[in-house]
Structure 1
Amino acid sequence: MGALNVFLLIVLAVSAALTIILILMHSGKGTGVSDMIASSMYNSAAGSGIWEKNLDRLTVITAIVFGVTICILALTFPVGTIG
């Protein structure tokens, strides 16, 4: 396994963790855990629109990085032998 694959595996793990965290930070429509976390992070009257917009952007960016990394790894990862 080369240095590129090790680097891509690290990027994959970090982007996966960030994507999960950012998705969980989105405010929900109910009274679940995401609403409790979101209400403690910012006041709903003070710039929640900007917070949500930036959170959406970061989530999309990390999801794209995750997808591109998967595609690159699929092309460059060493192929195992069968039998």
Structure 2
Amino acid sequence: MLETLFTIVLVLSSVLMILLVLLHKGRGGGMSDMFGGGVSSGLGGSSVAERNLDRLTIGIGAIWFACVIALGLLKAY
């Protein structure tokens, strides 16, 4: 029962992580330059929406990590 709950939360958090990472703005360099993302305007720092997106991504990542650890512990015993 508990294993099923953690598996469902893991799948949902995985899908959310993919969507949240794709919502982030490219900061230049790496893969974003390869596909035309290198042209950016330097109009300032992070907006409130970007900071909130960062916080949400970190929170969902922590939930994802906790589910992976919990499932590993459940499978070990």
Question: For this structure pair, what is the TM-score category when the shorter chain's length is used for normalisation?
Answer: 0.7 to 0.9
Per the alignment, in what secondary structure is the counterpart of residue 25 of structure 2? coil
Q: What's the TM-score, normalizing by structure 2?
A: 0.72
Quick check: which has more Rg, 1 or 2?
A: 1
Residue number among 60, 72, 75 corresponding to 1:62 in the alignment: 60
- Deviation of residue 78 (structure 1)? 6.5
Q: In structure 2, how many angstroms separate the alpha carbons of the residues matched to 1:49 and 1:78? A: 44
| Structure 2 counterpart of 1:26 | 24
Give the alignment's Cα RMSD to 1 decimal.
2.2
- Deviation of residue 29 (structure 1)? 3.3
Superposition misfits of 4+ residues, deviation over 4 angstroms? none
Identity %: 36
Q: Larger RCO: Structure 1 or Structure 2 (Cα < 8 Å, ≥ 6 residues apart)?
A: 2
- Deviation of residue 21 (structure 1)? 0.6
Q: Which runs of 5+ in 1 are unaligned?
A: 36-43
| Structure 2 counterpart of 1:51 | 49
Q: In structure 2, how many angstroms separate the alpha carbons of the residues matched to 1:20 and 1:72? A: 21
